[in-house]
């Protein structure tokens, strides 16, 4: 039994019976021959919904993506045929559940080209970053050392470092963005110093869509011996991610922004960095021995997964990443870039619309404000036309305030969106602007 626990595997290879529902796409089946959004969207049942009597146009993908049938079916199959706790049960369903859970971990590892022993399942990006702050950060950060964060970050990649700095007596330094919402290499280097111990940086901004020159930033931080923590929540469903090529120390992302369920996410850590990190939460599954006086913790990723995990959601994440693999991430990026460019050009035809975030390298997110119209009112009006966007500060106040705004309308695109979705958005915005002008002239 000890070997079973340490290997985190089941007691056999007894597979669950297969449903007659749609099979989960597998990378071994090869990339699909087409990437036509009108074909891809058939895989997503919710896109056939009507809202206020109009077809749903889902443009809130930076907040959460919709789920393909293969993911929904995979979760249903888990609960119908495999539902049990993992790693400890000595029965058939326990073996099935453990195999499904660990197979999902291996799918994640392959999807981001991570080495063995580097994938920790968490609830999402926020928990992943807090895990690093409370383990590696708490152990290694000393008084008067520095943490560097950028103005592009989501609050979840700012607040944990503020808390850690206050606790450890460290200093926070920030990297500003320019008027287009970009980080320059020069401004990044100015923020670094021999005291820099940790750098927190996003791969892609959730509010502006800016894609950072991540590999170059990581290299320059490593030149000073700093550890780099990457928020990959937005990037992972839009661009191919290779954590070994990037040389990231830690890379975090959430499943629900990559066609998977909510409540599941991933922390990738270099095995060396994980080995340098103490346990954080205590409980079952992360201990090899417990007495009333002391406990011995497992090594590797087990140390960071206390308690019963979100098993079905992890299995769903594995199915979602297999689905993305079947689409081909290089083609997903190419198509997303083309649609983003189309959306930027189309939005430019709307009178009084000012784009917020115009980085040369950007994806998916096309935030804007409309002169004289509150962002919340724009969101409500769009919803009346069946168009779902996000409005507000998007947990990215430093980024928005750097560009002189407090709130924006944020349409965000995904692989199932098409030019018709963008056209519907733009037509609705034209009606909103015309209606406001009509009121003002009355």
Active-site residues, by number, are 395
* DSSP letter assigned to residue 151: T
Q: Is the dihedral of CA 212, 214, 216, 222 positive or negative?
A: positive
Q: E-strand spans in 276-414?
A: 287-290, 295-297, 353-355, 368-370, 387-388, 390-392, 408-410
CA distance 399 to 430: 27
Q: Judge contact between 249 and 229, C-beta under 8 A.
A: yes
Which residue in the block uniquely carries the two structure tokens 């293969």? 70
* Exposure of 2 in the CB half-sphere (CA atoms within 13 A): 3
Q: Judge contact between 394 and 202, C-beta under 8 A.
A: no
SS3 292: coil
Which residue in the block uniquely carries the two structure tokens 């660990």? 102
* DSSP letter assigned to residue 249: S
End-to-end CA distance of the chain: 79
Strands 171-175, 390-392: pairing kind: unpaired
């Amino acid at each position: 039994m000890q070997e079973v626990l340490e290997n985190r595997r089941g007691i056999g290879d007894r597979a669950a019976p297969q449903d007659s529902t749609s099979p989960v796409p597998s990378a071994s089946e090869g990339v699909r021959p087409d990437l036509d959004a009108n074909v891809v969207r058939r895989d997503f049942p919710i896109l056939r919904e009507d809202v206020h009597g109009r077809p749903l146009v889902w443009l809130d993908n930076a907040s959460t993506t919709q789920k393909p049938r293969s993911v929904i079916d995979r979760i249903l199959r888990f609960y119908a045929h495999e539902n049990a706790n993992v790693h400890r049960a000595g029965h058939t369903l326990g073996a099935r559940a453990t195999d499904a859970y660990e197979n999902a971990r291996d799918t994640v590892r392959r999807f981001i080209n991570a080495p063995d022993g580097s994938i920790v399942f968490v609830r999402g990006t926020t928990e992943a970053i807090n895990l690093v702050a409370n383990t590696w950060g708490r152990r290694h950060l000393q008084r008067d050392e520095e943490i560097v964060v950028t103005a592009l970050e989501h609050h979840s990649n700012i607040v944990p470092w503020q808390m850690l700095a206050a606790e450890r007596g460290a200093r926070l330094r920030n990297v500003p963005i320019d008027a287009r919402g970009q980080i320059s290499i020069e401004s990044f280097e100015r923020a670094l110093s021999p005291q820099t111990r940790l750098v927190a940086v996003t791969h892609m901004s959730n509010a502006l869509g800016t894609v950072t020159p991540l590999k170059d930033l990581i290299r320059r931080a490593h030149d000073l011996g700093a550890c780099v923590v990457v928020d990959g929540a937005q990037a992972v469903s839009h661009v191919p991610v290779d954590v070994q090529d990037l040389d990231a120390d830690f890379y975090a992302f959430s499943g629900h922004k990559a066609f998977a369920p909510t409540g599941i996410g991933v922390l990738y850590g270099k095995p060396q960095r994980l080995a340098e990190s103490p346990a954080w939460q205590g409980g079952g599954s992360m201990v090899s021995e417990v007495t009333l006086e002391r406990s011995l913790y497992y090594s590797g990723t087990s140390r960071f997964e206390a308690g019963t995990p979100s098993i079905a959601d992890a299995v769903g994440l594995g199915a979602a990443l297999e689905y993305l693999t079947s689409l081909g991430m290089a083609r997903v990026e190419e198509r997303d870039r083309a649609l983003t460019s189309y959306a930027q050009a189309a939005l430019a035809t709307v009178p009084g619309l000012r784009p917020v975030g115009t980085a040369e390298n950007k994806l998916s997110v096309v935030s804007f404000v409309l002169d004289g119209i509150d962002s919340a009112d724009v969101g409500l009006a769009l919803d009346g036309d069946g168009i779902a966007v996000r409005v507000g500060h998007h947990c990215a106040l430093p980024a928005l305030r750097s560009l002189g705004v407090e709130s924006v309308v944020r349409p965000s695109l995904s692989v199932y969106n098409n030019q018709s979705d963008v056209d519907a958005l733009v037509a609705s915005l034209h009606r909103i602007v015309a209606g406001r002008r009509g009121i003002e002239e009355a």
